[in-house]
Chain A
């Protein structure tokens, strides 16, 4: 039984490969119908599928493949020209075969569905030009050659073929030789001729390996690298020459082994791309557009897991390009472009990363429309939209629910998509960027790491702890000695900066960001210059230790929310070190904020009570138009609750929210302001989290999100306020959330 399973498994894999080849071939053939090589390879692919299904006893599969083979055989003989209908028909056949293969994989049987329709369709296509009767059913390739070369009587070959069909497992040549019809040498010659005709034989040097086995190997190599690191560290304290020598050898071998195993997991991106011609063709037919797909750099290699991860996002982007990037042929001609639109894919390595660019020469993205859509959906106000730069506005397409499509089709335009694309790519440590030119097209640029498993990293210490910084983000290291550290680091209203070749580099102290204690690293300072998105910043650490190849291990779910760490790794001494998420740290330290360059600090205002520089604030009103603001950064969501959903727990107002109970704080009630709208049906609630717990702030109305420098004018006695500030030219109270949260569990605060 086990053996049988193996055979079927191999059949499934092989057939799936053949179908891939068939699909790619068909789409290419459409462009170049005269190519005999292509037709030949397509024919061979379907022939193999048919032959194998017959041998393994899958009659439905065989029947369908047989129909396709007949059709292709005729085309190969030049009796039937290729047209769109035939291509579509053959592609449908491929789909049907795939479907059955899936069933076989899942249940071991061909399933109950009948595929008469597909078979009939293939037969009808065949009849289209039924000028001559179907000559032969079997592709007498070898037989034909023998017949032509040696004038072997065709009835001898027919007899041999019949034998084969009746279950004789020998090859046709063998049967003929046994029958004495031909000398053995002639068969050999004919076989050679056949091989020459069909191009180079499939390399016998390849074997199939289960991916899970590779994954296991990869893990083991990861462990080996760790053990190697430990031994190397130990070696430094050893004097035994033999031991040191052996350790060095172990080091070299491990490195080579690691590279080798990594290579086994590398696949050309073409493996994913090969599906796209079919996708493009189907979509083009569906939308009545003419589309050509161009690919460049399909040999660019990527780790298998990454290839898997980018497959869906890429497909989605291509669909988008065709559906609402490219115009209808008539419109294109009118705009002075060729009727046929182009979608091009480009992949290349650069700086340890893989770049993938998907561009179309369509109409580009209408930035105004995107803004309008976002405003309609309430994702930003009209004023905010007006203030956005072109670039920021374009980034709106990555928000959930924003679509650039004029109308919703069943393929795209529903506005769920680009946000998922972005999330999926960011999940594997990549970044997406969009560029568009009105009437000229759109380009999406994706940058992704080569591999996720083992990366080079810089090991640095801060607050007495070791951290690994991925070298991809590392630009340079700056060491300031002695008083240079004091003089070199200047500060702008509390924000430290360093002049790096004439430019101000914002500095972030790692120990402060991570809430670690101050450490006295002696004199001097170490600045790790890092790249986060488009911004550079200097991460100040206590000590820079070394660079090392580290094995990235994911963090468990309890720690994913922190946002500052990309994973963890085991160091040479066996201890665990955290891997910094450079982008996360930059975001936490506000290095990466969209408005960084635009926000001009309100000069002239009192310098005394600056609580925040250029933060974004959520402005809302409570009890009769009193304006209040809280930092946008801490707001998790804005929600609306029906009043009837409110429940009470003790004296506390609560609501069931995402499977948990969320405490509601009514500020109006707290700050003894009369809430005039007690009868309102719906409550506007600002959800934020305190110590991992969601808390809801009941407000009267959300006013706006404001990004500006805030200067606190004076402090109120009221403990719940940090003070007041002028925001949007109106006095606005800044709520002290910490004080509010502290007052929440006990109910006394109400008094």
Chain B
């Protein structure tokens, strides 16, 4: 396999993640969320995206990472899904990067827990690893 692919990147609890660019509808700054009582823990709430109501998934909770430090507002990466747009709450937005297909490697077997479900693999970039997020899995609440 050769060729390059573009990823929209973001930071989450010190990790560097990427989502295929064509899956991302838009990236927006922090939005006010409405909490949903009794909802699964990973649901960060509902946001008003220009008149469209979009559910926000707290990726930190989804990946079982420690909670976001107080006072740090999450950013929204809005991705398309079969069920309409869904927002992923992340710490910070990175650039759109272009990576080579040959730099991809599947996750090691030692990866366990939710990471195993959600991370499809890693692109070995010069300075760090870009973790490829499986958005379909990530959107499954719980």
Contact = CB atoms under 8 A, between A and B. Distances in A.
B32 A568 contact: no
B65 interface: no
A565 B36 contact: yes
Contacts of A578: 34, 36-37, 46
Given A556-B84, A693-B142, A576 B53 contact: yes
A575 interface: yes
Given A223-B51, A691-B142, A515 B40 contact: no
B122 interface: no
A569 B34 CA distance: 11
Given A564-B38, A565-B36, A692-B141, A558 B51 contact: no
A514 interface: yes
A222 B51 CA distance: 9
Given A553-B53, A556-B86, A575 B40 contact: no
Given A515-B37, A516-B37, A558 B47 contact: no
A562 B39 contact: yes
B36 A226 contact: no
A581 B54 CA distance: 19
Nearest to A467: B37
Interface string A542-570: 00000000000101111100101100111
Given A558-B43, A692-B141, A693-B142, A570 B53 contact: yes
A577 interface: yes
B51 A562 contact: no
A569 B84 CA distance: 16
Contacts of B35: 465
A486 to B, nearest CB: 27
B54 to A, nearest CB: 8
Contacts of A352: none
Contact of B53 (A465, A516, A562, A568): A568
Interface residues of B, number: 29
Contact of A465 (B34, B40, B57, B141): B34
A574 interface: yes
Contacts of A465: 34-35, 37
Most-contacted residue by chain B among A553, A556, A562, A578 (CB, 10 A): A556
A576 B34 contact: yes
Contacts of A562: 36, 38-39
B34 A559 contact: no
Contacts of B54: 556
B59 interface: no
Interface residues of A, number: 28
A576 B55 CA distance: 11
B34 A575 contact: yes
B51 A570 contact: yes
B39 A556 contact: no
Given A556-B55, A693-B142, A568 B46 contact: yes
A223 B38 CA distance: 28
Contacts of A515: 37-38
A558 B34 contact: no
A434 to B, nearest CB: 32
A575 B31 CA distance: 10
A464 to B, nearest CB: 10
Interface in B60-111: 83-84, 86
Nearest to A565: B36
A274 to B, nearest CB: 35
A558 B43 CA distance: 8
Contacts of A226: 51
Interface string A133-163: 0000000000000000000000000000000
Given A465-B34, A558-B141, A574 B48 contact: yes
A559 B36 contact: yes
Contacts of A565: 36
Nearest to B46: A576
A514 B38 contact: yes
A514 B32 CA distance: 21
A692 B43 CA distance: 13
A574 B46 CA distance: 12
A692 B46 CA distance: 20
B84 A558 contact: no
A223 B47 CA distance: 15
A348 B48 CA distance: 37
B130 interface: no
A747 B84 CA distance: 41
Contacts of A576: 33-34, 45-48, 53
Nearest to A588: B38
A575 B142 contact: no
Given A514-B37, A578-B36, A558 B139 contact: yes
A725 B69 CA distance: 47
Contacts of B141: 558-559, 692
A516 B140 CA distance: 24
A186 B98 CA distance: 79
B138 to A, nearest CB: 11
A54 B111 CA distance: 69
Nearest to B140: A558
A568 B55 CA distance: 10
A693 B40 CA distance: 11
B92 to A, nearest CB: 24
B99 to A, nearest CB: 30
A89 B122 CA distance: 67
A559 B141 CA distance: 9
A647 B55 CA distance: 36
B37 A564 contact: yes
Nearest to A219: B51
A463 B36 CA distance: 12
Nearest to B42: A558
Contacts of B48: 570, 574-576
Contacts of A568: 34, 46, 53
A516 B86 CA distance: 25
Contacts of A692: 40, 141-142
A666 B68 CA distance: 38
Contact of B55 (A558, A564, A691): A558
Contacts of A569: 53
Interface string A503-522: 00000000000111000000
Given A558-B40, A558-B139, 10 more contacts: A223-B51, A226-B51, A465-B35, A556-B83, A558-B42, A559-B39, A559-B43, A570-B51, A578-B36, A692-B141
Closest 3 CB pairs of A and B: A692-B142, A514-B37, A558-B141
9 contacts: A514-B38, A515-B37, A559-B36, A559-B141, A562-B36, A569-B53, A570-B51, A576-B34, A578-B46
